[in-house]
Chains A and B, each alone.
Chain A
Amino acid sequence: MQTSAWVALAGTLAVTGGLLLFPKDGTGARFQPKPGEVLERVGAVEVRQQRTAEEAAAEAHALISASRAKGGDVRLLGRAQAVLAPWWNEASPPAQVRLMRATIKQSLHDFDGALSDLDALAEGEPQARLTQATVLMVVGRHEDAERACLSLTGKVPDGVIAGCVAPVWAIRGKTKEGTAALETALRHTRPDDPLRSWLESELGELLVWSGALNEGAAALRRALQLDPKDGYSRLLLAATLTELARPGEAVGLFSAPSESNDAELLQLVLSATAAQHPETKVWEAMLQERVEASRRRGDGVHRREESRFALRVEGEPAIALKLATKNFEVQREPADVRVLLEAALAAKDRRAAEPALAWMKQTGFGDPRLTTLADAVESLP
């Protein structure tokens, strides 16, 4: 037989052998690490002891803050909840525990649960009242939210009240009053006041809602300069820049995609797609994995993002609509309205959009992007 045939055989065997030098990494392969191999970085572990209510509340608070610092880490939130386990199902736990319980429930999107705790606390505690105001706004109880904000007059700095009430006013069609209140508050806060970044962030959001995307982006940039860790502003700025046809800048805002939370990763994928960024497929795969993990867990908190994902990335309007509808049952912020309108339009289902259209009529919210969407949906057959 030919020499070349033997050479071919030897060569191909060598190639196959070489392939085995690159074992499967990632999931699926059990392996024995070397004893000294560092596998994870971990923190100190609390010695489990009987905690008093004060200790538990303090520990839960620390865990919640740590969770938020990481953009919303579920593990830390779950640890906070576990710390409060002895009181979790009690009707009237001690006040500090109750406030932490409400905060955890709010983060897990159990808004009804959070509100029932906050209602019981609101009288005494400005903190509780503020959280209550925010949750009320999220579930769409705008009058109650406004009342809750204004009831804090004299108990908290004026800037805080402005920041609390401005978005509510804007949603109810009084955007000018809202932006005015925020601008006044900004004029009266010192340059080093941590309140400034939050006020700028809110101003940015209100400006975006009013259709002034460039000014809104500018305010959001100022907010990020004052607080580079502000995930909310970063997310909103990225979305706004993408709408302004500057998706490349939006992509540049996310320095560590694998550390991003799911909402940020979704926005990154949408911006990267618009910018035709070379890494788009990589990030999309990452996001797909996150979505699958969330579905396996049966977490209900991502529905807004999942709906957007289903519509904009997977191209599945029917699924997106189902998710958007379920989402709207729980939360009714302008972003939730938008997601429902977009899904209904794509699925050509006017009837499914009715809750969103009713919300628009009832509030008088004037975001031009939403009114355009609403008009388009209403003109569906």
Chain B
Amino acid sequence: MTRLIISSLVLVGGIAFAHKGSDAYWTLTASGAELGGQLDVALVDLHAANGLDDDRDGQLTWAEVRAHEAALGKWLSGQLALEQAGAECPLELFELAAIRHSDGTYASWKVRARCEAEVRQVTAKYDALFDVDAQHRGLLRVAGGEWVAFSNSNRTRAVEFTAQAPSHQFVTALLEGMHHLAIGWDHLCFLFALLLPSVLRRRERAWLPRETLKEILLEVTKVVTAFTVAHSVTLGLAAFGLLAPNPAFVEVAIALSVVLAAANTLFPVVTEGRWTLAFGLGLLHGFGFVSALTDLGTSGAQLLVSLVGFNLGVEAGQLLVVACFVPVAFLLRQHAWYPRRLVPLGGLALMLLATVWTWERWSSL
């Protein structure tokens, strides 16, 4: 009895909670009269509600989850509803997969609903799991907005979809792209490291100034275009989920790419075909842009608009850098100290800086 008493006395005010409470994650975006999104529900919660451990061995395998796929999908879609002006928008869950969140593995469905008219405001209803866990929360996020919580006592919410005209979206993405390049020191330094020697030519282990502006512009164009094509490709593939490398590793790799580009400037190895470096290493930079793009919270056709806008923003930023740098370099290239001092020192400085970044990013892995 004493233990009973003690356990009731301790743990009143101060102790907060151990593990995260039960949450489900629901995202929605609107495209015309259609709604699309994703619903993630924790496997432990699905098990508590439906009993998924068929062989009763205390372990939930993917096979056991798949065995219940149809029943779970039907059950869960009955717990959600989307209504537009009182009329239901038929909702379906499809393509079951697994996904990890901070507190365990979840079942993840894609969501699709079709309303009568273009979606501006809908009423969302969420009834799942409350009769098993009264502290469960259904967390809904609409098109990159804030999370709103459905709870046991609050199962209905009005949800707004701000219809962004494609042109507005495009401009937002464009500005975001420019902004991201402007704050992207690693991208700028990479570009800079490749451009520093672009007004020079390597002849018998010495740098000589290139003769004509045309020659210089050709070289610069090759480098910048190669970089642009490379990062556009990887950004596009990653944005649509076709490639998904670990962001932390990407950051380290990008820093390393700057080290390499700067090292090549300091110790010229690749002197004629620097566009190859710009291309190969530029692929990595594309992965570094992905998070900024996904933060815009678009999907489907709208994502394409955002992608194009974002890319153009990055290119515009790049062109600005080039337009500022090339004329100056063109004028300075004749001076002896440009090839003998500025380029090697610039290369060295960038290499050191990038090495520090690499170290920082590596140690925070």
Contacts and interface: CB of A to CB of B under 8 A. Distances in A.
Interface stretch (B93-101, B165-173, B338-346): B93-101
Interface string B15-50: 111111111000000000000001000011101101
B264 to A, nearest CB: 8
B62 to A, nearest CB: 4
A15 B48 contact: no
Nearest to A82: B134
Interface residues of chain B: helix, strand, loop or mixed (majority): mixed
B98 A2 contact: no
A88 B153 CA distance: 12
A156 to B, nearest CB: 7
B18 A72 contact: yes
B19 A82 contact: no
B270 A5 contact: yes
Contact size class for B? Answer: 35 or more
B272 A2 contact: yes
A345 B2 CA distance: 42
Nearest to A13: B280
Contact of B15 (A35, A131, A193, A263): A263
A74 B135 CA distance: 7
A228 interface: no
Contact of A78 (B9, B21, B249): B21
Given A32-B98, A82-B131, A296-B139, A130 B9 contact: yes
A75 B58 CA distance: 18
B51 interface: yes
Interface stretch (A17-25, A240-248, A314-322, A361-369): A17-25
Interface stretch (B77-85, B203-211, B281-289, B295-303): B281-289
A259 B19 CA distance: 7
A333 interface: yes
A43 B58 contact: yes
B105 interface: yes
A127 interface: yes
Interface stretch (B239-247, B310-318, B327-335): B239-247
Given A12-B279, A13-B283, A27-B101, A39 B139 contact: no
A31 B99 contact: yes
A313 interface: no
Interface in A24-46: 24-45
A32 B61 CA distance: 12
Contacts of B15: 71-72, 231-232, 235, 261, 263
B212 interface: no
Which of B98, B135, B139 has the most C-beta atoms of chain A within 10 angstroms of its own C-beta? B135
A127 B62 CA distance: 45
Contacts of A238: none
Given A15-B280, A78-B22, A5 B272 contact: yes
A380 interface: no
B20 A30 contact: no
Interface in B102-150: 102-105, 108, 130-137, 139, 147, 149
A271 B136 CA distance: 32
A103 B101 CA distance: 30
Which of B50, B132, B250 has the most C-beta atoms of chain A within 10 angstroms of its own C-beta? B132
A147 interface: no
B13 A193 contact: no
A73 interface: yes
A74 B6 contact: no
Given A23-B246, A157-B2, A164 B9 contact: yes
8 contacts: A27-B100, A45-B53, A75-B22, A79-B132, A194-B2, A293-B102, A301-B17, A336-B13
Interface of B: 2-23, 38, 43-45, 47-48, 50-53, 56, 58-63, 65-66, 97-105, 108, 130-137, 139, 147, 149, 151, 234, 243-247, 249-250, 253, 257, 264, 269-274, 276-277, 279-281, 283-284, 287, 364
